[in-house]
Structure 1
Amino acid sequence: MKKLSLVLGCLFALLFITCEGPQGPPGFDGFDGLDGRDGIDGQDGVNILGKVIDIEGTFSEENDYGLLFEFPQTIEVFETDVVLVYLLWDQTEDSNGEAVDIWRLLPQTRILDQGLLQYNYDHTFLDVNIFLESDFDLGTLQSGDTDNQVFRIAVLPAETAQGSKLDLSNVYNVMGRLSVEEQNIQLIKLN
């Protein structure tokens, strides 16, 4: 008899729980008087995409075999950003006969008849200084090593470079990460 009472009690409780009745009153809107509506729009944030630019200049005794490029107001560089400089080393042709640039990440060392020549750079968040170093008199360099040299400067936000498996030696990988296309890169000629 106890089992029958227990089974009937459970069945009755189950039927009572599953029955629908009239709908109750609506609940309260949100907490602390907030009704769940959107808040006021904030200010737009800074778009941290990075920047890539090309510069062209000639190394000479007058500029102490260095090219100083100051970042313009349009390029904001932070102390934590990564600044990379690539030298336009050569050009080749693709299968369609179109020119393809070959870039090398600095520093780059050349072995010349006079000795070792190195293209190197340093930077701050204000500028990039590209310079030549050698174990011989730089005045003996051929014009091909000094005149109208083209460099590509890439500024990567720290967030982009940290913990990344990005191959920094490949300028095209860096440009892809920054969503920069070749035709959008500005060339600045230095005096």
Structure 2
Amino acid sequence: MKKLIYLFALSISFLACEGPQGPPGLPGSDGGLFVASAFEIEINFNAANNYEYIENYGFDVYPSDVVMVYISWETDNGQDIWRALPQTTYFNEGTLIYNFDFTQDDVRFFLDGDIDFSILASEWTQNQVFRVVVIPADNVDGLDLNNYNNVIESLNIQSLKAQ
């Protein structure tokens, strides 16, 4: 009989486990899932902009966040192929490097290398498409950041905002 009363009291205590709602989660999180922000941008590099372009995010980026940039490198059977920056190309005249850096406020895209950028054909400087992914630091461990598709799938990014 004591066992039966004990089991009854125990089952009631599990049914009555309700309390006030806990405090809200950290900024940038959604029910324990960190939300990554991403956008796509098309850039023309030229002497007038010193072969660089700076873009403000338009959303909060925290000091611990990591920013990755990918360039649309080629298309295969209608499928875009993305490569992580920096990306290097070799010419007889020298080396071209697509590169980036970032702060908490913006991301800077720039051409680097020892080639004279003014001799590059427009295919290397005009209409260059980049994708920027801001990754909360908690999501970086074990993630292959060089693989664009892996990053997008792991962070569950459904669509990209145009900048």
Which TM-score bucket, shorter chain as reference? 0.7 to 0.9
Residue 82 (structure 1) aligns with: 66
Corresponding residue to 1:66 among 39, 49, 52:
52
Matched positions, count: 148
2 CA distance for matches of 1:133 and 1:107? 9
Mapped pair 1:186 → 2:150: no
2 CA distance for matches of 1:127 and 1:155? 11
Residue 83 (structure 1) shift: 0.5
TM-score by length of 2: 0.82
Corresponding residue to 1:150 among 104, 108, 129:
129
CA 1:140–1:77: 2 relative to 1, 3 Å: same
1 CA distance for matches of 2:123 and 2:21? 59
1 CA distance for matches of 2:21 and 2:132? 39
Residue 51 (structure 1) shift: 1.2
2 CA distance for matches of 1:143 and 1:173? 30
The alignment-based identity, stated in percent, is 34
2 CA distance for matches of 1:53 and 1:144? 22
TM-score by length of 1: 0.71
Residue 37 (structure 1) shift: 4.6
Q: Deviations over 1:125-172 (max 9, x none)?
A: 11100100121321111100000100011111000003x2x2111111
Corresponding residue to 1:55 among 25, 37, 41:
41
More strand by share: 2
Structure whose alpha-carbon radius of gyration is higher: 1
Residue 56 (structure 1) shift: 0.5
Mapped pair 1:175 → 2:159: no
CA 1:43–1:142: 2 relative to 1, 3 Å: same
- Please tell me whether the aligned partners of residues 52 and 175 of structure 1 are also in contact (alpha carbons under 8 angstroms): no
CA 1:158–1:40: 2 relative to 1, 3 Å: closer
CA 1:37–1:115: 2 relative to 1, 3 Å: closer
Long gaps (5+) in structure 1: 1-18, 94-98
Mapped pair 1:113 → 2:121: no
Q: Secondary structure at the match of 2:118?
A: helix
Residue 42 (structure 1) aligns with: 23
Long gaps (5+) in structure 2: none
Q: Deviations over 1:65-98 (max 9, x none)?
A: 00111110xx2211111100011000011xxxxx
2 CA distance for matches of 1:170 and 1:153? 13
